[in-house]
Amino acid sequence: MKSLEDVEIKGIVFDIDGTLLDHKIAQEGGLNYLYSNIEEKILSSNQQDFIDCWRTVSEHYMEQFIAGHISFKEQRILRVQDVLSKWGYEVSSEEAWAIFQLYLTGYEKNWTLYQDVLPCLTILKDYPLGIISNGDSIQQRKKLTYTRIISFFSSITISNDINTPKPNPLIFERCAKDMNLSLSEIIYIGDSLETDAIGASEAGSHGIWINRFNQYYSDSDVLTVFSLKEIPKIINKIS
Binned at pLDDT 50, 70 and 90, residue 1 comes out as: very low
Name the residue ranges covered by the structural domains of the chain.
Answer: 4-22+112-238, 24-109
3-state secondary structure the chain: CCCHHHCCCCEEEECCECCCECHHHHHHHHHHHHHHHHHHHHCCCCHHHHHHHHHHHHHHHHHHHHCCCCCHHHHHHHHHHHHHHCCCCCCCHHHHHHHHHHHHHHHHHCCCECCCHHHHHHHCCCCCEEEEECCCHHHHHHHHHHCCCHHHCCEEEEHHHHCCCCCCHHHHHHHHHHCCCCHHHEEEEECCHHHHHHHHHHHCCEEEEECCCCCCCCCCCCEEECCCCHHHHHHHHHC
CATH number of 24-109: 1.10.150
Mean pLDDT, the chain, integer: 92
The answer to whether the beta carbons of residues 201 and 208 sit under 8 Å apart is no
The C-alpha atoms of residue 232 and residue 172 are separated, in whole angstroms, by 22
Binned at pLDDT 50, 70 and 90, residue 25 comes out as: very high
Q: Do domains 4-22+112-238 and 24-109 have the same CATH topology?
A: no
- 95-146 tens-digit pLDDT: 999 999 999 999 999 999 999 999 999 999 999 999 999 999 999 999 999 9
Beta strands 11-14; 186-190: pairing state: parallel
Q: Which of 76, 75, 91 shows the shortest CA–CA distance to 42? A: 91
pLDDT value of residue 4: 63
pLDDT value of residue 2: 43
**Is CATH 3.40.50.1580 correct for 4-22+112-238?**
no
pLDDT value of residue 239: 64
% of the chain beyond a pLDDT of 70: 96
Binned at pLDDT 50, 70 and 90, residue 186 comes out as: very high
